[in-house]
Amino acid sequence: MTTRKAAHKDLPRMPITTIPSTKVVTGFWRTFRPTLDESKCIKCRICWKFCPDVSISMTDDSFPAFDYEHCKGCGICANECPRKAIIMVMEE
């Protein structure tokens, strides 16, 4: 008995976009937004590493900077921060 390997035809159909995610503004979905307390930040870049939307860049001083046009407010950066330097605040 042989087992057949899965092929692309076996995958379920799903919508995809042909537009790069950097061109699509999605920040308006957010209910909470991340804010940084620089006095607590140890510049470890863990927030940058875990951000699923690539919405965190590092400043010249190595602090995280949030791209609010693309950040969806998931809070992963705040949850992963070892010093709790990132706080999620309600959007106004």
Q: What is the pLDDT of residues 27-63, one digit of tens each?
A: 888 999 999 999 999 999 999 999 998 999 999 999 9
* pLDDT for the residue numbered 13: 87
Q: Give all domains of the chain, ordered by start, each with its CATH number.
A: 37-86 (3.30.70.20)
Average pLDDT of the chain to the nearest whole number: 92
Residue 1 has pLDDT above 70, yes or no: no
* pLDDT for the residue numbered 29: 83
Q: Which residue has the higher pLDDT, 5 or 41?
A: 41
Strand 64-66 and strand 56-58: pairing?
Answer: antiparallel
pTM of the model: 0.77
Report, as an integer, the average pLDDT of 68-92. Answer: 96
Calculate the CA 81 to chain-centre distance: 13
Percent of the chain with pLDDT over 90: 66
Give the CA distances from residue 62 to residues 10, 25, 42, 84, in Å, rounded to whole numbers and listed in that order.
45, 25, 9, 17
